[in-house]
Amino acid sequence: MKINKEGYRIIAVSSVCCLAIWALIYYMLQVQEKNWLLILLTVLLVMFWGLIVSFFREPRRIKIHDSDLVFSPCDGRVVVTEVVVDDEYFHGKRLQVSIFMSITNVHINWFPVGGLVKYFKYHPGRFLVAWHPKSSTENERTTTVIETPGGVEVLFRQIAGVVARRIVSYMKVGDYVNQNDTCGFIKFGSRIDILLPENAKLLVEIGDRVVGTQTPIARIGHFENIDDEVVEE
């Protein structure tokens, strides 16, 4: 299993902490000869450490390049599909799709479309639960807008949740990015909003489970002279 680079430090620190806690428990319980409790706590520590390691796993995925589609930028569950008014960039109505990532999901983020990064901004903020409607505008978040080769602008937001305390983004304005390449990471439970043209054809419903880079969430139109391709990592 490959581990994402964002997890190296956290895994190392958690390993040291778990070993220190185990050594302390071992010393205290050996004196009292409570071996059954030592075994139980050891299992719980190993499970906790394993959960942290699995959180930063980096799956091997087939990269699908299709300029006609918007792919899910993350693993998770669709929690919002509605028309909203965006006041940050578009200043008008857009179709919003929101995906919630639980603590058990892979938290790598991928570009839902390819093209030119037209806008990027980091917003400090609160840490409401990620499924709260106000998390889109009040939580710590980043906003990125990509213009596709066909001239369609797609906005997506990385949103921190009540547990997530750090958002990592790899893009900057002026970059040309490829669809389904890695764009960042949100550390522990969080959410991503995607804002699409109001007339985009929605391909998912609330409650659907989606897989990053693999599940198309909307169709934004077909553009001539754009070749679709499938690339394996």
Q: Is 51 a residue whose pLDDT tops 80? A: no
| CA dist., res. 102 & res. 74, Å (int) | 11
Best-predicted range by mean pLDDT (4-18, 40-54, 98-112): 98-112
Domain 62-223's class?
A: mainly beta
| CA dist., res. 187 & res. 165, Å (int) | 7
Specify whether the CB–CB gap between 114 and 148 falls below 8 A.
yes
Token pair, residue 68, equals 């006609």
Q: What is the share, in percent, of the chain residues with pLDDT greater than 70?
A: 81
pLDDT at 164: 47
pLDDT at 133: 54
Token pair, residue 233, equals 């990592």
- Provide the 3-class DSSP secondary structure of residue 222: coil
pLDDT digits (tens, 9 = 90+) for 118-157: 999 988 865 555 555 555 556 788 999 999 998 999 999 9
Q: How far is CA 60 from the centre of its chain?
A: 16
Catalytic residue among 67, 98, 136, 190: 190
Q: Is 26 a residue whose pLDDT tops 90? A: no
Best-predicted range by mean pLDDT (33-37, 114-118, 128-132): 114-118
Residues in contact with 81: Cβ distance below 8 Å, sequence separation at least 6, in sequence order: 95, 96, 97, 98, 202, 204, 205, 206
Give the residue carrying structure tokens 């391909």: 203
Domain ranges for the chain, please list them: 5-55, 62-223
| CA dist., res. 1 & res. 9, Å (int) | 17
Catalytic residue status for 190: yes
Predicted structure pTM score: 0.75
pLDDT at 78: 95
Closest C-alpha to 112, from 174, 160, 177: 177
Q: Is 212 a residue whose pLDDT tops 60? A: yes
pLDDT at 138: 62
What one-character DSSP code corresponds to residue 188? S
pLDDT at 167: 80
pLDDT at 52: 74
